[in-house]
Amino acid sequence: MAGKPVLHYFNARGRMECIRWLLAAAGVEFEEKFIQSPEDLEKLKKDGNLMFDQVPMVEIDGMKLVQTRAILNYIATKYDLYGKDMKERALIDMYTEGILDLTEMIGQLVLCPPDQREAKTALAKDRTKNRYLPAFEKVLKSHGQDYLVGNRLTRVDVHLLELLLYVEELDASLLTPFPLLKAFKSRISSLPNVKKFLHPGSQRKPPLDAKQIEEARKVFKF
């Protein structure tokens, strides 16, 4: 019951990666059970383990939690990464939602049909450069602290670091106009638990290439 959380997902980033990041940053060891065939997924469904027939699913503290945000909220609460009061929590949620929106927008590019790829990539870059990164640069500038909320590590710092690394993968020049975000990226990357997760051999997942996506599409028919 009080063992390690068990994560059920494909061996890929997808909607589980932010959960892996948060557990790692909290210093929580976790086990992964990868879905490798349609039968694996079907069994999870048939056994009643997926409330809405969808993954990610995390077994934690006797619960089988689905829905990425519900899982993140639980982990953040349990490991005291969710602010000291209602107001801090509101800021954390507001910032987190913005980050998840952009993370999703960038993450969807690898699944995007080729005829839409160019337009969607341009939109993602525009949003990154003109909407989201300016908003967070401004937060850091306004309070001059090391962390986004409450002057200590919370979940939103982890989510933002994860996002900045994806932005860098998408187009590293997007970060150039944002010195405070670049400093933030270095700072959070240096925290011991995060540093460990960034090392090769950790449970962090690499980006998939088009061939791997195509293969997965054949296996799982999505």
Measured between alpha carbons, how far is 176 from 161 in angstroms, rounded to an integer?
15
The answer to whether 137 contacts a copy of itself (rule: CB under 8 A) is: no
Site residue total, a copy of itself (CB under 8 A): 29
Q: What is the C-alpha separation between 133 and 127, in angstroms, rounded? A: 8
CB nearer to a copy of itself: pick between 71 and 194: 71
Q: Is 68 annotated as a binding residue?
A: yes
Judged by CB under 8 A, does residue 96 bind a copy of itself?
yes
Among positions 157-216, residues that touch a copy of itself (CB under 8 A) are none
In this structure, are residues 7 and 49 in contact, taking their beta carbons and an 8 Å threshold? no
Closest by Cα among 48, 71, 46 to 61: 71
Give the helix/strand (H/E) hosting 12.
Answer: none
* Residues 41-80 contacting a copy of itself, CB under 8 A: 51-53, 61, 63, 65-70, 73-74, 77-78
CB of 85 to a copy of itself, least distance (A): 10
Element (H, E) at 117: helix 114-127
90 touches a copy of itself (CB under 8 A): yes
Q: Annotated binding residue at 74?
A: no
**Residue 198 identity:** L
Is 36 annotated in some ligand binding site?
no
Minimum Å distance from CB 158 to a copy of itself?
17
Q: Are 21 and 159 in contact (CB under 8 A)?
A: yes
Query: Using CA of residue 131, residue 134, residue 140, residue 146, what is the dihedral sign?
Result: positive
Of 4, 46, 84, 87, which one interacts with a copy of itself (CB under 8 A)? Answer: 87
Does position 98 interact with a copy of itself (CB under 8 A)? The reply is yes
DSSP helix/strand/coil, 211: helix
Count of CB atoms situated within 10 Å of the CB of 149:
25
With binding defined as CB under 8 A, does residue 125 bind a copy of itself?
A: no
Q: Which residues are annotated as a binding site?
A: 9, 45, 54-55, 67-68
Which residues here bind a copy of itself, judged by CB under 8 A?
A: 51-53, 61, 63, 65-70, 73-74, 77-78, 86-87, 89-91, 93-94, 96-98, 101, 131-132, 135
